Amino acid sequence: MDLNSLTVASTVNAIRERQMTATALAEDFYRRIEAKDGEIHAFLTLSKERALAAATKVDALAAKGDPLPPLAGLPMAIKDVMVTRGLRTTAGSKILENYIPPYDCTAVARLEAAGVVMLGKTNCDEFAMGSSTENSAYGPVRNPRDKSRVPGGSSGGSAAAVAAGFAVASLGSDTGGSIRQPASFCGVVGLMPTYGRVSRYGLIAFASSLDHIGPFTRTVKDAALLLGIIAGRDPLDSTSADVPVPDYAAEIEKPVRGMKIGVPKEYFTEGMDAEVRTAVEDAIQLLAAKAGCEVVPISLPHTPYAIPSYYLVATAEASSNLARYDGVRYGHRSPKSSTLSEMYRRSRDEGFGPEVKRRIMLGTYALSAGYYDAYYLKAQKVRTLLTRDFEEAFAEVDAIITPTSPTPAFKIGEKVDDPLSMYLADIFTVTADLVGVPGMSIPCGNSREGLPIGMQIMAQHFDESTLFRLGHAYEQARAA
C-alpha cells in the first residue's frame, strides 16, 4: 500500500469496495508518522483514540453493507488553529499550550460527519502569523522535499503532512498566503476558497476579514471533493456566504477551450527567480497549446501596494482578535502577577512569541488615535483600489495565473532576523486575501535543485469551478 499515491477518491473507493479497512489504513499512517515525523515535525498532537473510533465506526458500517458517508475512512490532518472538542489545540503558541476546546470547528465537524478519520493536529506559525512555520512556539517544520529548508507557512505542518505521505489530505488556513505558499514550497495542491465560502466558526481568529480555511491535497480533483463537503452557509458564522454549493467534482471535466487566462505583468517582475518565471510561463503555454486557452496580458496596477496594505489591515484586526488572550478564562496565566493589570500584561508577554508581539504592536499603533486615518483607513481604501483592479481584469478574462511565490523554499533560518524580508515572501498571495477571490496553487515543476515550484490560479468570487477545471486540465495536459 503506497501511502504516497493515495488520493481522496482512491482511498474512499478502496474502503467502500472493502479492499482495505479504515482501521488498517489509519494504523498504517500512524506507523509511518511515528517512524518519520521526528525528522519533519509536521504534527503537534496525534488523535489516535478519536481516529480509531471514527475508523471503527466506518468499518462497522462497511461490514454490514450499509451506505457509507462520502469521505468514509479518509485519513486527514488538521492545522492546529482549528479547534477540536476535547483535543488540545495550541494555535502554535505557548499561550494555549494546554488549551482543550469545548467545541469543534465547523469545517472539521463537517469532515468528520462525512466519515473523515482525523489523524492529528499539525504544526504552524504561531496564530498563523508567518511564512515559514519558523514562528511556531514548538519548533519548525522541515520541508519533506529538502529537510534543510522551510515548508512555507503558516500552514507548514499541513502542507508537509501531505507531501510526506502522513495523510491523504489536510486542512490549513490562509490569511496572506498561508495555504498557497506552503503548497507551492512542498509540491502539493493548496486551495484558498472565496472569503465566506467556508465557515470560520472554530478557526482561531487572526484577521477576521482575511482568514480562510482550505484543503491541501495531491490532486485538483481531491480539492474539489473536499470543498464540496466543507463549503456552505453556517449560521454560526455571520460572514459565511448564503451562496449555493455546486457539485465541484462533477464539473471538473468540462473543457476549458476558449477560456481566457490573464497574465498580469506586475507578477513577473525583474529580480524574481528565473526558474520560477520559466516554470510558470511554461505551464501557461501548456494550457494554451494543449487545452485551448487564450492567454491575455493584463495589468493589476496596484499590486505593489498590496503588502503594505495587508500588513496594516491584518495586524490591526489581529491586535483586536488577540486581546482575548488575557489569562482570565483559558490559556497561560503568569504566576508572577499580583494585580489584574500585571496578570494581563505578563501573561501576554510570557505566552506570545516575538512575531505575534510585533504584529500586535504594529496593529495597535495603526489603530491608535492620531494614526488611524493615516494607516488603517488608508490601507482599507487601497483595498478598494485593489478590488477594482480585479473587477476590471475579470471583465476581460476568466482566470488569472501567476507564480505563487517569487522563489522556491528558502533555507531554515535564512529570513528569521529580517521580518520585512519574510513579509515580502507573500508578495503574490496577499492580494487574493485582501480582495476575497479564491486562489489555488498547483505544482508546475521543480527547480534545478529539485525544489517544487507552484503556479497560482485566481478566479472571481465563488467561481472555484474555474479554478478546478483549469487546474485539472493542466494536470491532464502535463501527464499526457
Contact 149, 143 (CB under 8 A): yes
Look up residue 332 and give its amino acid: H
Q: Tell whether residue 299 is a contact of another protein (CB under 8 A).
A: no
CA distance 139 to 151: 13
- Cβ nearer to another protein, comparing 95 with 451: 95
- Cβ nearer to another protein, comparing 112 with 326: 326
Q: According to CB under 8 A, which one of 43, 195, 201, 216 is a site residue for another protein? A: 195
- Cβ nearer to another protein, comparing 172 with 331: 331
- Cβ nearer to another protein, comparing 222 with 326: 326
Active-site annotation holds for 57: no
Look up residue 103 and give its amino acid: Y
Kindly give, in sequence order, each residue whose CB lies less than 8 Å from that of residue 150, ignoring residues fewer than 6 positions away.
132, 133, 134, 140, 141, 142, 143, 156, 185, 409, 410, 411, 412
- Torsion angle defined by CA atoms of residues 199, 201, 206 and 208, in that order, rounded to the nearest 10 degrees: 60
Stretch that binds another protein, among 28-36, 167-175, 249-257, 335-343 (CB under 8 A): 335-343
Active-site annotation holds for 136: no
Q: Tell whether residue 318 is a contact of another protein (CB under 8 A).
A: no
Cα distances from 353 to residues 96, 275, 446, in angstroms, run 12, 35, 34
Which DSSP string corresponds to 92-131?
T-GGGTT---SS--HHHHHHHHTT-EEEEEE--SGGG--S
Active-site annotation holds for 265: no
Pairing mode, strands 452-458 and 399-403: antiparallel
Q: According to CB under 8 A, which one of 345, 407, 447, 478 is a site residue for another protein? A: 345
Q: According to CB under 8 A, which one of 14, 61, 68, 243 is a site residue for another protein? A: 243
Stretch that binds another protein, among 104-112, 118-126, 302-310, 468-476 (CB under 8 A): 302-310
- Cβ nearer to another protein, comparing 39 with 97: 97
Closest distance of CB 286 from another protein, Å: 32
CA distance 23 to 372: 55
Stretch that binds another protein, among 105-113, 179-187, 276-284, 308-316 (CB under 8 A): 308-316
Q: According to CB under 8 A, which one of 383, 415, 469, 472 is a site residue for another protein? A: 383
Q: Tell whether residue 333 is a contact of another protein (CB under 8 A).
A: yes
Burial of 246 (0-12, 13-18, 19+ CB in 10 A): middle
Q: Tell whether residue 371 is a contact of another protein (CB under 8 A).
A: yes
- Cβ nearer to another protein, comparing 218 with 359: 359
**Which one of the listed residues 93, 136, 170, 178 is annotated catalytic?**
178
Which DSSP string corresponds to 416-459?
TT-HHHHHGGGTTTHHHHHHT--EEEEEEEE-TTS-EEEEEEE-
Structural Rg of the chain based on CA atoms = 21
- Phi, psi (deg, nearest 5) at residue 373: -65, -45
SS (H, E, C) 275-321: HHHHHHHHHHHHHHHHHCCEEEEECCCCHHHHHHHHHHHHHHHHHHH
Closest distance of CB 259 from another protein, Å: 24
Stretch that binds another protein, among 139-147, 277-285, 288-296, 328-336 (CB under 8 A): 328-336
Q: How many residues does the chain have?
A: 480
Kindly give, in sequence order, each residue whose CB lies less than 8 Å from that of residue 40, ignoring residues fewer than 6 positions away.
141, 142, 144, 147, 160, 164, 166
Q: Tell whether residue 200 is a contact of another protein (CB under 8 A).
A: no
Q: According to CB under 8 A, which one of 269, 365, 446, 447 is a site residue for another protein? A: 365
Stretch that binds another protein, among 128-136, 255-263, 324-332, 446-454 (CB under 8 A): 324-332
| Interface of this chain with another protein, residues 255 to 294, rule: CB under 8 A | none
Stretch that binds another protein, among 135-143, 217-225, 278-286, 306-314 (CB under 8 A): 306-314
Closest distance of CB 380 from another protein, Å: 4
CA distance 410 to 407: 8
Provide the mask over 203-232, with x wherever binding to another protein is found by CB under 8 A and - wherever it is not. Answer: ------x-----------------------
| Interface of this chain with another protein, residues 164 to 183, rule: CB under 8 A | none
- Cβ nearer to another protein, comparing 69 with 308: 308
CA distance 258 to 294: 6
Q: Tell whether residue 372 is a contact of another protein (CB under 8 A).
A: no
Cα torsion angle, 165, 171, 175, 179, sign: positive
| Interface of this chain with another protein, residues 66 to 125, rule: CB under 8 A | 98-100, 102-103
- Cβ nearer to another protein, comparing 70 with 308: 308
Q: According to CB under 8 A, which one of 141, 171, 205, 379 is a site residue for another protein? A: 379
Contact 87, 106 (CB under 8 A): no
- Cβ nearer to another protein, comparing 2 with 417: 417
Look up residue 305 and give its amino acid: Y
Give Cα 397 distance to the centre of its chain.
25
Report the catalytic residues. 79, 154, 178
